[in-house]
Amino acid sequence: MHRIRTISAFIGRWFALIVLAAGGLALVTPDTFSGLTVAIPWLLSIIMLGMGMTLRPVDFAIVARRPWPLLLGVAAQYLVMPLLGLGIAVALDLSPLLTAGMILVGASPGGTSSNVMVYLSKGDTALSVAMTTVSTLLAPILTPMLVLVLAGEFLAVDPGALFISILKIVLAPVLAGLLLRMLLPRLVEKFLDVLPLVSVASITVVVMAVVAASSSTLLSVGILVVVAVVLHNSLGYTLGYLIGRIFKLPIASRRAISIEVGMQNSGLAAALAVAHFNPVAALPAAIFSVWHNVSGSLLASYWSRKSVPVAETPASEFSHTSA
């Protein structure tokens, strides 16, 4: 187990570079990896199963104790990021498929690595875990609705098909993982240290598949999409923090909301884009997968050096392990 923890820590530290290198390899030899797109939904289901296995009933207690910061954070998650995705895509005159991809990223729930970033940032980790969980559970309803409303004018959207996909890829695996944790806690805890490795491997394959399947588009508009993704992520952090400040939340809660709003489940966005639109629509999600881990690490490093008032320090321990 010690060796697994060491490997997990190493891969977590270099996750962004690993994914970037894998994406570069797929760009150079796209024919080698383009067939991997059929595996994307299964890989995301594995990640979501792992997320469910890390949850415990105590993680939901914050909903009853402090509903206001949670409701505010989830509302910001599903309002700020989809609208930012649309606004940036229109401002940069992206193609309809890339615009749909930006909206999909924005309309996806919080990224699973956000909890780690919030913990490292001395933020409110309990709030972060609750936001990730609740936004994920709401995804089958809110994600298809937002994509239909915001992307429907650019291309045909089937919200019913999106709903079914999210049930299969997200909700069912998360609930199965939670049930396993409740019924077989000792067995599941033996595998918790392995879950980050599985998540990193899965996301790496997703990025390789998307990059390989849309390599020609990436080569022609790559810089523009990178600019769009960086703006999307950075403005998400900024607006998330400002919303917490406007509503006078503690600094630790502002940091949690900032990171939860800025970091998305881009793997889910990629899976939905490939399944319901085109691999080109998955490009923003593939780039987001790399970038938000880089930016999240940088932001966490900066905030970790900024003290939080003792009275505002979250009392809960970090109890969520995911990549």
pLDDT at 173 over 80: yes
Vertex 279, ends 277 and 284: CA angle to 5°?
A: 100
CB 288 within 8 A of CB 264: yes
What is the enclosing helix (H) or strand (E) of 8?
helix 2-13
Beta bridge partners of 285: none
pLDDT at 311 over 70: no
Residues contacting 9, CB < 8 A, separation 6+: none
Q: What is the pLDDT of residues 203-214, one digit of tens each?
A: 778 778 877 877
Domain residue ranges in the chain:
30-307
pLDDT at 316 over 70: no
CB 323 within 8 A of CB 203: yes
Q: Give the residue-averaged pLDDT of 289-312.
A: 75
The per-residue pLDDT for 65 is: 76
CB 214 within 8 A of CB 275: no
What is the DSSP code string of 211-236? Answer: HHHTHHHHHHHHHHHHHHHHHHHHHH
Instruction: Name the band, by pLDDT with cuts 50, 70 and 90, for residue 232.
Output: very high
Burial (CB < 10 A; 0-12, 13-18, 19+), residue 93, is exposed
φ/ψ (deg, to 5) at 264: -115, 160
- The tokens for 127 are 């709030």
Relative orientation angle of helices 251-262 and 67-91, to the nearest 10 degrees? 40
pLDDT above 70: percentage of residues in the chain: 87
The per-residue pLDDT for 245 is: 93
Average pLDDT, the chain: 81
The per-residue pLDDT for 4 is: 62
Q: Give the residue-averaged pLDDT of 109-121.
A: 77
What's the fold here for domain 30-307?
Na+/H+ antiporter like fold (1.20.1530)
CB 278 within 8 A of CB 210: no
The per-residue pLDDT for 35 is: 77
What is the enclosing helix (H) or strand (E) of 257?
helix 251-262
Q: How many residues belong to the chain?
A: 323
What is the DSSP code string of 171-183? Answer: IHHHHHHHHHHHH
Number of H helices, E strands in the chain: 17, 0
Instruction: Name the band, by pLDDT with cuts 50, 70 and 90, for residue 13.
Output: low
Least confident of 46-60, 62-76, 97-111, 180-194: 46-60
Residues contacting 17, CB < 8 A, separation 6+: none
pLDDT above 90: percentage of residues in the chain: 26
Greater confidence (245 vs 46) lies with: 245
Q: CA 233, CA 295: separation in Å to the nearest integer? A: 8
CB 261 within 8 A of CB 80: yes
